[in-house]
């Protein structure tokens, strides 16, 4: 967890970064609660960027501009302006259900709905399957994602503000049921409205309460900035995916590479 919606996914020597944002001060309406665990320069050695949409807290212009032109930035189609506005030199637009390979990862763009052109991603890597939701609301397409993939871990928002910009705790519980995910790692927790009028009582705790009330067996792993989580071995799981990479070696698909030279990596949280 780098911070907010920026997450480093790693497996089989492939490193992917979601929605890069390294700003520390927020904007007029929202403040950033904690600085990102890494600086821009520390995460340039990656194989690809998964870019859900162009809002300020998901698209770091300085980072994208400095990125090597060989590094693909996968993002929503139909937004040509985004490429040059945000400075991504190797922008690859993707439509829902389109697939591509980046390093050892098989990546599928999936539908998402937000106040901007947006796309979600399913990443199959090293025998694990992760869903990155971006800022989406809960919608029926999540059941379709759950049908097509055996999701091991869902990186998704679970709390929202008075003007709902993502799914809130109630929608997130429905999303977990639709996706059938074993584990949820909440994202989009790095900013808070400056105005108390925009705040809600929603939190990871309120989401977890609702999840338990609904009888869901899904685990919730709340990662703070700099913490990492390793996907459990998949050998015992039934294969209900029509696309999953079959029984790979025991995997640690979401473990951060040894970045401890920066002295910032903290303990690994396990489900
Ligand atoms: Zn956002």
For residue range 189-202, list pLDDT tens digits in order: 999 999 999 999 99
CA of 250 to the centre of ligand 1 (A): 33
Q: Is the pLDDT of residue 170 over 70?
A: yes
Average pLDDT over residues 40-64: 94
CA of 95 to the centre of ligand 1 (A): 20
Token pair 């890494």 is at which residue? 38
Distance CA 149, CA 147 (A): 6
pLDDT of the residue at 258: 37
Q: Is the pLDDT of residue 254 over 60?
A: no
CA of 268 to the centre of ligand 1 (A): 25
pLDDT band at 253 (very low <50, low <70, confident <90, very high): very low
Asked if 133 and 42 count as a contact pair (C-beta separation under 8 A), the reply is no
CA of 160 to the centre of ligand 1 (A): 10
Of 82 and 116, the structure prediction assigns the larger pLDDT to: 116
CA of 244 to the centre of ligand 1 (A): 29
Q: Is the pLDDT of residue 240 over 90?
A: no
CA of 190 to the centre of ligand 1 (A): 9
Average pLDDT over residues 89-95: 92
Q: Which of 17-21, 89-93, 127-131, 138-142 has the lowest mean pLDDT?
A: 89-93
CA of 188 to the centre of ligand 1 (A): 6
pLDDT of the residue at 115: 85
Contacts of 126 (CB under 8 A, 6+ apart): 11, 12, 14, 104, 231, 248, 249, 251, 252, 253
Q: Can you tell me whether residue 211 is helix, strand or coil?
A: helix
The gap between the terminal CA atoms of the chain, to the nearest Å, is: 15
Average pLDDT over residues 9-27: 96
CA of 57 to the centre of ligand 1 (A): 5
CA of 178 to the centre of ligand 1 (A): 22
Q: Is the pLDDT of residue 176 over 70?
A: yes
CA of 243 to the centre of ligand 1 (A): 29
Q: Can you tell me whether residue 183 is helix, strand or coil?
A: strand
CA of 173 to the centre of ligand 1 (A): 19
CA of 259 to the centre of ligand 1 (A): 26
**Cα angle 22, 25, 28; round to 5:** 125
pLDDT of the residue at 78: 80
CA of 33 to the centre of ligand 1 (A): 14
CA of 134 to the centre of ligand 1 (A): 8
CA of 103 to the centre of ligand 1 (A): 27
Q: Count the neighbouring beta carbons within 10 Å of the beta carbon of residue 12.
A: 17
Average pLDDT, the chain: 86
CA of 70 to the centre of ligand 1 (A): 27
Q: Is the pLDDT of residue 270 over 50?
A: no
pLDDT of the residue at 80: 62
Of 108 and 247, the structure prediction assigns the larger pLDDT to: 108
pLDDT of the residue at 266: 33
For residue range 139-150, list pLDDT tens digits in order: 999 999 999 999
Backbone phi, then psi, for 115, in 5-degree steps?
-85, 20
Compute the Cα dihedral for 87, 91, 96, 99 and give only its sign.
negative
**Cα angle 244, 177, 5; round to 5:** 75
Asked if 82 and 91 count as a contact pair (C-beta separation under 8 A), the reply is yes
CA of 4 to the centre of ligand 1 (A): 8
What is the full DSSP assignment across 107-133? EEEE---SSSS--EEEEEETTEEEEE-
CA of 247 to the centre of ligand 1 (A): 35
Q: Check if CATH label 3.60.15.10 holds for domain 8-270.
A: yes
pLDDT of the residue at 83: 62
CA of 115 to the centre of ligand 1 (A): 10
Residue 190 burial (10 A CB sphere; 0-12, 13-18, 19+): buried
pLDDT of the residue at 233: 55
The pTM for the full model equals 0.85
Asked if 227 and 64 count as a contact pair (C-beta separation under 8 A), the reply is no
Average pLDDT over residues 249-258: 36
pLDDT of the residue at 88: 86
């Amino acid at each position: 967890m780098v911070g907010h919606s920026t997450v480093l996914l790693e497996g089989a020597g492939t490193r992917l970064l979601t929605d890069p944002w390294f700003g520390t001060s927020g904007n007029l309406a929202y403040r950033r609660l904690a600085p990102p665990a890494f600086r821009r320069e520390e995460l340039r050695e990656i194989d690809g960027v998964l870019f859900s949409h162009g809002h300020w807290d998901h698209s770091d212009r300085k980072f994208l501009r400095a990125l090597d032109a060989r590094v693909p930035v996968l993002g929503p189609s139909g937004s040509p302006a985004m490429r040059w506005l945000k400075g991504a030199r190797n922008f690859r637009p993707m439509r829902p259900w389109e697939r591509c390979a980046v390093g050892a990862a098989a990546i599928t763009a999936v539908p998402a709905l937000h106040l901007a052109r947006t796309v979600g991603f399913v990443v199959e890597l090293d025998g694990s399957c992760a869903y990155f939701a971006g800022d989406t609301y809960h919608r029926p397409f999540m059941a379709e994602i759950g049908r097509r993939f055996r999701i091991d871990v869902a990186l998704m928002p679970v709390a929202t503000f008075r003007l709902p910009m993502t799914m809130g705790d109630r929608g997130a519980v429905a999303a977990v049921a639709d996706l059938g995910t074993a584990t949820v790692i909440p994202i989009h927790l790095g900013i808070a409205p400056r105005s108390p009028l925009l705040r809600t009582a929603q939190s990871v705790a309120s989401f977890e309460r609702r999840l338990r009330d609904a009888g869901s067996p899904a685990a919730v792993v709340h990662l703070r900035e700099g913490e990492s989580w390793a996907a459990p071995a998949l050998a015992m799981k039934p294969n209900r995916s029509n696309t999953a990479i079959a029984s790979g070696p025991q995997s640690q698909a979401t473990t951060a590479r040894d970045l401890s030279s920066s002295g910032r990596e903290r303990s690994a949280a396990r489900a």
